[in-house]
Amino acid sequence: MKNKLITKVALIGGGPACATAAIQLIRSGIDITLVSKEIGGTIRNANLVENLIGYPEGVVGKNLAKSFQLQLAKAGVPIILEEVLTVEQLSNNYSIRTAETEIISEYLIVGTGSVPKKLKIEGEKEAFQNSKLFYEIYNVKQFSEKKDIGIIGSGDVAYDYALNLQNLENNISIIRRTDKTSSLSILQKRVNNADNIIVLNNHVIKKFELKDDKIILDIEEDGKLVTMIQDLVLVAIGRKPNYDFLSEDLVYEYNNPKTDSKLNFIGDVNKNNFRQISIAMGDGMKVAMEIVKEVIHEERYHGDSREIW
């Protein structure tokens, strides 16, 4: 451990929730530190964000992530670009550890979003390790021009990934377990109108195998075993909250929230939260304002003064 610092509020996460909270807190004169491996979060996966007010033409996810970086820098938010390994509570404070740094904070905001679910079938780990199978589209794009790509899933993410990759002269197959989809109707229409995207129903993936720089999918289709050969595969079967770095007692608090806690979960990491940018931003703003109000109350009680601007 090379570095150690103390801050009033530590924020873990680089997506819209923590970015919003960080900017509001620093504008209020609160001492903060934001820790995240990277800035932007899963919004970098989005082909086009069309439901965020202020962008009438929509905004590409990676461009929105860049705007987060610029605004955080302009606001002067202190950022540590390191991966958080562990978080635990020490008496009345929290200890956040990376490989290089320990941050001690009085308040802790966790906005670490979600991580993709895995199929947990034979050959999946090997295919991922050999860069033939991916879970996030921003990792696959550098390999994805003029390819045969299979996208496993039936929701918004699978359809959005397909649309995101269609302009790179790819042949794309959306592979669904059933004949149903939970995707938005507007995304379904766009996929149906795309010449290089097909939807395959009732295809259950049983195994992956690598051969001759290809990935072979063993599939059960209507009770029969068939194979499909692809250049790349994207798995988009859902996501789960990302909090594996928390200590056992903090995981318990995540599942059993306290009313007087100084630990807050915001954005997609929240249980049963809808994964929308505007909701994440609202979470971040609400928690930041609550902390500002509490800090000001404490300092006034102790006779301290603070300039709020």
Identify the pLDDT of residue 18: 97
User: Which range scores top for mean pLDDT: 167-171, 195-199, 273-277?
Assistant: 195-199
Identify the pLDDT of residue 1: 57
- Identify the structural domains of the chain with CATH numbers, from first to last: 3-115+239-301 (3.50.50.60), 118-235 (3.50.50.60)
* Tens digit of each residue's pLDDT (9 = 90 or more) over 131-167: 999 998 887 867 778 899 999 999 999 999 999 898 8
Task: Show Cβ contacts of residue 277 under 8 Å, excluding neighbours closer than 6 positions.
Answer: 16, 43, 49, 52, 64
CA of 159: how far to CAs of 191, 196, 283, in Å? 7, 13, 27
* Tens digit of each residue's pLDDT (9 = 90 or more) over 227-276: 999 999 999 999 999 999 999 999 999 999 988 899 999 999 987 778 88
**Is the pLDDT assigned to residue 81 strictly greater than 50?**
yes
C-alpha to C-alpha distance for 67 and 85, rounded to whole angstroms: 27
Average pLDDT, the chain: 91
Q: Which of 19-28, 76-85, 90-99, 292-301 is predicted with the least confidence, judged by mean pLDDT?
A: 292-301
Q: Name the band, by pLDDT with cuts 50, 70 and 90, for residue 309.
A: very low
Identify the pLDDT of residue 45: 79
